[in-house]
Amino acid sequence: MFLKSIVAITLVALALVHASVFSQLQFIKIKSPKNNDVFEAGEQVQIEYIMQPLVYHSTSMGKALSLGVHFHSRTGNQKQQKLATVSNSCPVTANESKFVTHKTTWTIPKTTKPGSYAFDFDENASDSQNHTNR
Ligand SMILES: *[C@@H]1O[C@H](CO)[C@@H](O)[C@H](O)[C@H]1NC(C)=O
Ligand SMILES: *[C@@H]1O[C@H](CO)[C@@H](O)[C@H](O)[C@H]1NC(C)=O
Ligand SMILES: *[C@@H]1O[C@H](CO)[C@@H](O)[C@H](O)[C@H]1NC(C)=O
């Protein structure tokens, strides 16, 4: 299963956006950046996400196989052109019973003009439904 989540941000303090996130990923929760965060060109963005335990509520629902993050221009809630690849293969290691947090940083290119942008998170997941508690 292929899932997407988009975090909308604005570059420079222009406050033009009220976009909200459009969908959630299946096994990954994005903690940072947050919707409507404001950055400047050249600034470091902390990308932080939490992996759900492999066995959650006594049930193994599958797991994330990969996570890619891309930087796009944006108009309102519409993602536009892809401007950069943040990563094609973010770590997705999870633990059987604990939440695992992964962190990385990415620098917004210095040449980026003020405006509306989005980080696009693509999760590829296996979603077999294994019930481990019978
Ligand atoms: C589900 O169970 C099958 C058989 O035990 C196993 O091969 C498979 O890896 C399991 N899948 C997940 C996502 O745990
Ligand atoms: C899960 O976390 C526990 C406690 O930190 C650790 O002992 C165990 O090896 C971890 N399991 C996996 C599969 O990473
Ligand atoms: C998802 O992962 C599977 C298994 O690794 C792979 O075959 C497939 O191409 C991936 N799909 C995407 C959209 O990355």
Express each pLDDT in 51-103 by its tens digit: 999 988 888 878 889 999 989 888 887 888 899 999 999 999 999 999 999 99
**Residue 132, in any domain of the structure:** no
Burial status of residue 85 (CB atoms within 10 A of its CB: 0-12, 13-18, 19 or more): exposed
**Residue 8, in any domain of the structure:** yes
Domain count, the chain: 1
* pTM of the predicted structure, to 2 decimals: 0.75
Q: What range defines the domain where residue 86 resides?
A: 2-120
Only one residue has tokens 């962190």, namely: 103
Only one residue has tokens 């696009």, namely: 120
Probe target for ligand 1 pocket from 1, 65, 130, 133, with the most ligand atoms within 8 Å of CB: 130
Q: How far is CA 85 from CA 2, 18, 63, in A?
A: 18, 24, 23
Probe target for ligand 3 pocket from 63, 66, 127, with the most ligand atoms within 8 Å of CB: 66
Does 65 sit in the ligand 3 pocket, CB within 6 Å?
A: yes
Ligand 1 atom closest to Cα of residue 62: 13
Higher-scoring residue by pLDDT: 111, 2: 111
Express each pLDDT in 1-46 by its tens digit: 677 766 666 654 322 232 334 456 888 888 888 888 888 888 999 9
Ligand 1 atom closest to Cα of residue 128: 13
**Residue 126, in any domain of the structure:** no
- Model confidence at 113, in pLDDT bands (50, 70, 90)? confident
